[in-house]
Structure 1
Amino acid sequence: MTGPARTTAPPGGRIGSPAGVVGVLVAAALLAVSHIYVTIPLVSAVADGYATAVTAAAWIGSGFGFAFAVGNLVFPTISDYVDPRHVMAAGLGAVAVAGVVAGLAPNLPVLVGARVVQGFVAPAVPPVALAYLPRVLPERFRGTALAVLSSCFLLSGILGQAWSLSIGSAFGWRWAFWGLVPLLLAVAALIPMLPAAPRPTAPGSLPAVFGTLARMVRRPRMLAAYTAAFTFLLAFVGMYVALQASGTELGADDPVTSLLLRLPGLPGIVVGLFGGVFIRRWGPHWTGAGAFLTAAAGLGIEAAGGPLWVTLAGSAVFVAGLAVAVPAAVTLVGLASGPARGAGMAGYAFLVGAGASLGPLLAGALAGGGFALTCGVLAAILLVPAFAFAVSRPARA
């Protein structure tokens, strides 16, 4: 995982064009990562269906998140030994099987168990795809392709919730799982048609990954990037969980209005595609610091209350800030990791998943104080990575 890659060109697959490769990987990443968010609008319906407390039902999201964090350490390592195309295809297939079980779950423990399985196997796609993509694309396409693929982490948050709000309200929450199964299997069938990637010459074991991470985490740049990784989805998921819980307070008490509340995030995600331009102009440290300050300001606008359009505007600013912060953090991981980029990305992905798992729990703990309090606390949390990015900047950078 941490060794250099061979430089020989990989054999071609039936899907060999850069656009085709990126398209398949984007579809795979969206389907895998959307499972983090697909249950956010479903928690109340699941609680009602099983006659249990909402706090207990929330584990369909948090259980997934904790398992997702662990899987992010395991599958990038496996992909050093096994063809990454097979890892990604098998991961999507396993998510599909667990989705069938989730839809059939007779009780909450079975549903949580199925979600934990989904969370563990879903990372067979995103971090593996991020490592695979640069190995098979010409250098001139890599920057843009990685920016597009990285945007899937936030875009899937909007699409995953939109899927649940539309399918769940029309056919019931179980169909939110079942309806994704054919899509997962279809994309899994396309992945083996992608080009084969050159293998690392010295793949690392999982213990080696932990040893490498222990050394790298002492570097200021890596600490800043890892602080960012933990807060990305903590804030993103936490805000949308609070938004869902406060729908009536905000005037969104039906699925259509709830869906409209999420749409302002889409323009913000598009801004993230220009993150590479900002990084080249101002460097990853100042870009990341400014992006997190922007995201915190967006949450501050949401916390201020007022007309609904103000909340929507704050949401757009918040998502735009996070969308630019993501490539800045990934760039710092690369700078701090050096030749151990794989290990660095594994730790990064682990912390992204850990933040996603704690987002619903934090939002639930703050729910009694209302939507404004949750946004205010999350805004304060985002000031930490903003400060870390600023102070980790080398004197000559």
Structure 2
Amino acid sequence: MTGTPATLLRRAVSPARHEGSPRTVLLVMCTGYFLVLLDVTIVNVALPAIGSGLDADVGGLQWVVDGYALALAALMLTSGTVGDLYGHRRVVLYGLVVFGVGSLACGVAPDLPVLVAARVLQGVGAALLLPGTLAVISRAFPDRAARARAIGLWAGIGSLALPVGPLLGGALVDGLGWRAIFLLNVPIVLVALVWAAAIVPESSQAQSRRLDLPGVLLGSLVLLATTYAFIEGGRSGAATSQVLTAVILAVLAVPALVVAELRRGDDAMLPPTLLRRPAFDAANVVAGIMNMGTLGTLFVLMLFLQSVQDRSALLAGAAVIPLFAPLVVIAPFGGRITSRIGSRLPAAAGLLVAAAGLALLVLAAPHSPYPVMLSAFLLWGTGMGLLTPAVVAAAIAAVPAERAGLASAMNNTARQTGGAIGIAVAGAIAGQPTDAKSFVRGFHVVALGAAGLYATGAVLALLLLPGALRPGGGKRREQRASV
């Protein structure tokens, strides 16, 4: 292929020459999901090296992680709607391009502000990419039970990035430096882009809905102001007036967002008709709790393993493999369970098992042996493996099929919003790892807080998430919810 970059991109997003089978489409969409998750775990294991290389404190490192998460959370709903209107295949392909450019910019960033800006660009690409992958899968598998199993495989294959990320990231950081973790994405993006362009069919809905720019702007303001308040408020010497201003902006933006969304009705970024469905609301709240506890605790955990227990990046990455490996094995199994008995029991069980693992992290001390944490990692990861496919399937099953893109985007937005806030809160509680004694106390508080959140989520799941997916049951639930 020859021509300008714009010409090549137009050729890439032209209709697929050979439509792939549902299983092949599932596999290529899992590659996109793999990229998003790989970036999360690789970045966490590289945080101490980034801090040393760019002279960044914990607050700066929080922005490295949250710059990505905030862009992802703020734009995912919009990209889900764009995919519903103009085609999820096209949005996925553009997402791969933006993600690849952002990864390259991260790899060559000369200082912390440039790195954070490049991470935001990565987040924009991920926001275009992630909801589209799940929407394409939902259309490739119209049967509810088959869709639930496919979502389980999507979660399992994508979750391979979770154990691979720390180990591969640790090896790259120790061998080539932290920049290699971002540059690694570039060839993967190129392969995925060519593959998706060749086999993924286009899909869009003939609708006259418009993009909700006021909703996007106000929602982004709420997320940014809230995250800024937590991150900067936790920094020693932070300007109190700036933090207070961020809090005021967040408080004022919330009712403004509610009013704006009510005025736009079904054209809203957060459609009121969907938010009046209790099962859908519960699935999104549980998804937010899941990432708030997991990503917040993981952020502090990786600093603990390297800065307090003095492990290398490679050894720290190897240490958390028992946390992520159960996701790969259990998530497909969890998808099959969900297809048979519904989301309620798998989600509640996953939350409670993960809560037990998180609570055990209070036994971790600066000189404690690794087996002390091993049981905590295994329980935590096992719970996540049960929970992830259940909560995603619950969100999609709670809405009509034509809103699949928006439903998946809202569920992922809830997860990323929870993760961004969780990282901000966890970093503010733990403080600087240079004060080991204080940092370990904060680490224990973060772990216990996450366990409490998970237990609360389990109660919510038992009360509101759907049970068995019986033939026609989903349709009846949708009819009752819309009355």
TM-score (norm 2): 0.73
Pairing of 1:253-268 with structure 2 (within 5 A): 253-264=311-322, 265-268=324-327
**Is 1:34 equivalent to 2:45 in the alignment?**
no
| TM-aligned CA deviation for residue 318 of structure 1 | 0.9
The 1:209/1:253 distance shift into structure 2, 3 A limit, reads: farther
| TM-aligned CA deviation for residue 114 of structure 1 | 0.7
**1:107 corresponding residue in structure 2:** 111
SS class of match (1:206): coil
Name the amino acid aligned to 2:325: L
Pairing of 1:152-163 with structure 2 (within 5 A): 154-163=159-168
**Is 1:150 equivalent to 2:143 in the alignment?**
no
The 1:144/1:45 distance shift into structure 2, 3 A limit, reads: same
Distance 1:392 1:126 in 2: 26
SS class of match (1:257): helix
Distance 2:52 2:70 in 1: 24
Pairing of 1:115-130 with structure 2 (within 5 A): 115-130=119-134
The 1:213/1:297 distance shift into structure 2, 3 A limit, reads: farther
Distance 2:162 2:208 in 1: 32
Q: Give ranges in structure 2 of 5+ residues lacking alignment.
A: 1-14, 213-265, 431-438, 470-483
**Is 1:200 equivalent to 2:200 in the alignment?**
no
The 1:80/1:283 distance shift into structure 2, 3 A limit, reads: closer
| TM-aligned CA deviation for residue 281 of structure 1 | 4.8
Aligned with 2:351 (options 292, 303, 306): 292
| TM-aligned CA deviation for residue 245 of structure 1 | 1.1
Encode CA deviations 1:257-278: one digit per residue, 9 max, x unaligned: 2122121121243112111333
SS class of match (1:196): coil
The 1:370/1:248 distance shift into structure 2, 3 A limit, reads: farther
Pairing of 1:241-390 with structure 2 (within 5 A): 241-247=299-305, 251=309, 253-264=311-322, 265-305=324-364, 307-339=369-401, 340-367=403-430, 368=439, 369-390=441-462
Encode CA deviations 1:227-260: one digit per residue, 9 max, x unaligned: 1111222222222212211115885612332122
Tell me which of the two structures has the higher relative contact order, counting C-alpha pairs closer than 8 angstroms and 6 or more residues apart: 1
Asked whether the 8 Å contact 1:213–1:343 carries over to 2, the reply is no
**1:6 corresponding residue in structure 2:** none
SS class of match (1:81): helix
The 1:282/1:394 distance shift into structure 2, 3 A limit, reads: closer
4+ aligned runs moved over 4 Å, structure 1: 137-141, 248-252, 393-397
Distance 1:134 1:53 in 2: 42
Asked whether the 8 Å contact 1:167–1:176 carries over to 2, the reply is yes
The 1:289/1:345 distance shift into structure 2, 3 A limit, reads: same
The 1:120/1:198 distance shift into structure 2, 3 A limit, reads: closer
Asked whether the 8 Å contact 2:394–2:465 carries over to 1, the reply is no
Structure possessing the higher radius of gyration over alpha carbons:
2
Pairing of 1:69-80 with structure 2 (within 5 A): 69-80=73-84
Encode CA deviations 1:215-237: one digit per residue, 9 max, x unaligned: 32233212211111112222222
Name the amino acid aligned to 2:405: G
Percent sequence identity over aligned pairs: 25
Encode CA deviations 1:260-301: one digit per residue, 9 max, x unaligned: 212112124311211133334543222211211111011122
SS class of match (2:268): helix
Distance 2:321 2:160 in 1: 10
Distance 1:393 1:101 in 2: 42
Encode CA deviations 1:10-44: one digit per residue, 9 max, x unaligned: x9753623443222221221113322333212222
SS class of match (1:38): helix
TM-score (norm 1): 0.88
Encode CA deviations 1:96-126: one digit per residue, 9 max, x unaligned: 1111211221221111011011111212222
Encode CA deviations 1:150-203: one digit per residue, 9 max, x unaligned: 335644333333332111221111121112211111211111111414432336
SS class of match (1:151): helix
**1:5 corresponding residue in structure 2:** none
The 1:276/1:96 distance shift into structure 2, 3 A limit, reads: closer
Aligned with 2:18 (options 14, 18, 21): 14
Distance 2:90 2:340 in 1: 38
Asked whether the 8 Å contact 1:333–1:341 carries over to 2, the reply is no
Encode CA deviations 1:288-346: one digit per residue, 9 max, x unaligned: 11211111011122333464224122212112212211222123213432354433322
What is the RMSD computed on CA atoms of the aligned residues? Answer: 2.7
Aligned with 1:164 (options 169, 174, 193): 169
Distance 2:333 2:47 in 1: 35
Name the amino acid aligned to 2:304: S
Distance 1:219 1:143 in 2: 20
**1:218 corresponding residue in structure 2:** 276
Aligned with 1:184 (options 189, 195, 211): 189
User: Which region of structure 1 is more displaced relative to structure 2, 97-106 or 62-71?
Assistant: 97-106
Q: Give ranges in structure 1 of 5+ residues lacking alignment.
A: 1-10
